[in-house]
Amino acid sequence: MNSIQIGKIISINRKGKGITQEELAQHLGVSKPAVSKWESGQSYPDILLLPVLAAYFNISVDELLGYEPQMLKEDIRKLYHKLANQFAKRPFEEVYKECEEHLKKYYSCWFLQFEIALLYINHCSLAGSAEQVNEIIQKALEVFDRIAKCSDDVSLAKQALILKALCCISLNKPMDAIDILENMKEPPLQPETLLAKAYQMKGDKEKALVYLQGNAYVNLSSLLGLAPDFFMMYADQPDKMDSYYNIFIKLCEVFDMKQLYPARLYTIYLSAASVYVMQNRLEEAMDVLDQYVDLVNHNYGKEFTLHGNATFDLLDKYLTAVDVETTAPRSSEVIWRDIKNAITSNPAFAPLEGMERFIKIKRRMPD
């Protein structure tokens, strides 16, 4: 991460001009010890001297300060994962304060602003009370709003708008979300399909398959992500809910989501079990929770990363080509904690408490 390093830059530029500290001091009308202290970092030049120094070295004041209000995308991602790990280990308020400092320091670095807002919505559940959680989500909403209005990156601005709508839904403001999303109506464009055709015409079969597999994976993941909403919408129609549950489970089996992306399965199992409890179909709920625990034990301790499998054997190349972050947005420690709490401390399963089978299910969860 960049910071003000004016002393080092003065030293480099002075030596580049082949002059001594004393000669620079004479030009500026200051003492030699003053220049020496600047270069050693013991003090800084007076603010009125900055344009004089910059002009003397034929550089901008920003270059002289050595402060860059932007960060490289690679450094931002490293910072994101560092802070995500800190959320798992340190008090929430301490890490939140550090995030706020980054937002202020890099106020116009839109990708960093976006990633910090993502940190907020991915970790707000750790904040404590419902009121505190809503305050964090509101802060994220404000950051996404500013990105959408100010960023020149069209793709980033669009993502920010979508996540702003997500924040509105989380804050129980459906009309605000509808206003945002209805105004974003555009014909769906999938460049991966065209890229696959173009590479096929070019004779590059592997590159064509990379984009075909990538497009298939993205669409499959989006489809499976709709499962909880389908279950909830059909909560009053048990037969229809069962039908959709079977469809989504078969899709997961066909594409081996257990190995490819088990996070989707965790969500499907939990949401289905919650709806079964709502329907007072408690045995069906526990059937699903047994499968959930089986999946947890199968994967416990593994890292949460995007990767290919036998069906999507070129997916890793696609993820590299489109520069997708393959590491989970939260630390593994936090994710596993939530996965376990989803069974042991979930109010949705309160009607199961005390039942012998549910007690056994909870006991099967890893420590």
Q: What is the CATH number of the domain that holds 32?
A: 1.10.260.40
Would 42 be classed as within a structural domain?
yes
d(CA 163, CA 145): 9
If asked whether residues 104 and 40 sit together in one domain, one would say: no
Q: Which two tokens stand for residue 320?
A: 């590299």
Reported confidence tier of residue 187, pLDDT bands at 50, 70, 90:
low
If asked whether residues 202 and 129 sit together in one domain, one would say: no
More confident residue, 279 or 367: 279
End-to-end CA distance of the chain: 38
Question: What is the percentage of the chain residues whose pLDDT exceeds 70?
Answer: 97
pLDDT digits (tens, 9 = 90+) for 294-304: 999 999 988 88
If asked whether residues 197 and 160 sit together in one domain, one would say: no
Handedness of CA 216, 218, 219, 221 (dihedral sign): positive
Reported confidence tier of residue 69, pLDDT bands at 50, 70, 90:
low
d(CA 330, CA 325): 12
Would 268 be classed as within a structural domain?
yes
Task: Look up the domain containing 54 and give its range.
Answer: 6-65
Average pLDDT over residues 111-118: 96
If asked whether residues 129 and 203 sit together in one domain, one would say: no
| pLDDT on residue 2 | 46
If asked whether residues 171 and 315 sit together in one domain, one would say: no
Reported confidence tier of residue 128, pLDDT bands at 50, 70, 90:
confident
If asked whether residues 134 and 218 sit together in one domain, one would say: no
Q: How far is CA 197 from CA 102, 203, 206, 211, 220, in A?
A: 43, 10, 12, 9, 20
Residue 282, burial from CB neighbour count under 10 angstroms (0-12, 13-18, 19+): middle
Taking the model in full, what pTM does it have?
0.77
Other CB atoms closer than 10 Å to residue 359's CB: what's the count? 11
Would 227 be classed as within a structural domain?
yes
If asked whether residues 278 and 196 sit together in one domain, one would say: yes
Q: How far is CA 322 from CA 68, 145, 192, 205, in A?
A: 26, 25, 10, 18
pLDDT digits (tens, 9 = 90+) for 308-319: 999 999 999 999
pLDDT digits (tens, 9 = 90+) for 93-111: 999 999 999 999 888 899 9
Would 348 be classed as within a structural domain?
yes
Number of domains in the chain: 3
Average pLDDT over residues 271-277: 98
Check: CB of residue 298 under 8 Å from CB of residue 267: no
Domain end call among 44, 65, 86: 65
If asked whether residues 201 and 342 sit together in one domain, one would say: yes
For residue 220, which of 198, 245, 253 has the smallest C-alpha distance? 253
pLDDT digits (tens, 9 = 90+) for 249-263: 999 999 999 999 999
| pLDDT on residue 1 | 41
Specify the amino acid at residue 319.
Answer: L
If asked whether residues 215 and 267 sit together in one domain, one would say: yes
Would 187 be classed as within a structural domain?
no
Would 129 be classed as within a structural domain?
yes
The position carrying tokens 């081996």 is 256
If asked whether residues 162 and 248 sit together in one domain, one would say: no
Q: Which two tokens stand for residue 318?
A: 């696609």
| pLDDT on residue 199 | 94
pLDDT higher than 60, residue 345: yes
